[in-house]
Structure formats: C-alpha cells, structure tokens
Amino acid sequence: MTNLNLRLLVADDAPFIREIVRHVAEKNGIELVGEAADGAEAVTLAQTLKPDVILMDIIMPKMSGIEATKAILESLPSTKIIAFSTTDQETVVIRALEAGCVSFVVKPFKAEELLAVIRKAAAK
C-alpha cells in the first residue's frame, strides 16, 4: 500500500519514541517531516511544516498535547492529529478527542497498529 505523499510530524518528549516512529515511517514510505520534543515546539513545527498527520503525545513539557492540538487546529483545521499516551484513562481519551484528535493510540504500540491508525487518519 502506498501512502500518497503522506507528511507526518511526531511530537513526543521521549527521544526513543520519536526514534521508533521515525523507523516505522521510513520503513513504510511515510515522510517524517519533523520531530518535536514538547507541545510548544509541535505548534511551531506544525505551522512551518504543515504536515498531513501529527502523532501527538498527551503529556509533554511546556505545553500539553491537548493544548498543542487545540492551537494547531485553530490555524490548520485540516490537519489530522492522533493522540498517543501511556495512559488509556477514559478522561484522557475523551479530552484528546474533544480537543480535535481523530484517534488515540496507547503506548507501547505495535508498528502495524500505528500504521493502520496513521493511514486511516490520512484518508479521513
């Protein structure tokens, strides 16, 4: 399956998670256009790079993934944002979806699961 020039941004404060996402993207023909280490950086990179899909960690320094999602969608409403977190608490999932995330992935994740969610989000 080809990804139609899918441009992905990953925002996570854990370098090893960004590394895993980078590897999955490269292996599957997804262009990883940027990596953010916190929510504020995610907002800045999203404005500059205009990715199709953003993988957004919920708990990050400087600005949470929820706040970053709201800020990004204000100016880039067609961007698809997928929340991901180590917690699947219902309140966290609901807050992420209410903020505008199109999906939610719980860490740790399998590469195939992540790819399926990214492709589904990009197709919406």
Domain boundaries, the chain: 7-123
Q: Which two tokens stand for residue 78?
A: 């067609």
Mean pLDDT, residues 77-85: 96
User: Is residue 4 over pLDDT 60?
Assistant: no
> Which of 101, 6, 2 lies closest to 49, judged by CA?
6
CATH architecture of 7-123: 3-Layer(aba) Sandwich (3.40)
Distance of CA 103 to the CA centre of its chain: 9
Of the pLDDT bands very low, low, confident and very high (cuts 50, 70, 90), residue 3 is: very low
| Residue 81: predicted pLDDT | 98
Listed in order, strand segments (DSSP E) in 15-115 are: 31-36, 53-57, 80-85, 103-106
Label residue 114 exposed, middle or buried (CB < 10 Å: 0-12, 13-18, 19+).
buried
pLDDT given at position 18: 96
Count the neighbouring beta carbons within 10 Å of the beta carbon of residue 86: 13
Q: What is the mean pLDDT of the chain?
A: 94
Beta bridge partners of 31: 7
**Packing angle of the helix pair 65-75, 90-99 (nearest 10 deg):** 20
pTM equals 0.94
Report the pLDDT averaged over residues 12-33. Answer: 95
In this model, does residue 17 exceed pLDDT 60? yes
* pLDDT category of residue 20 using cuts at 50, 70 and 90: very high
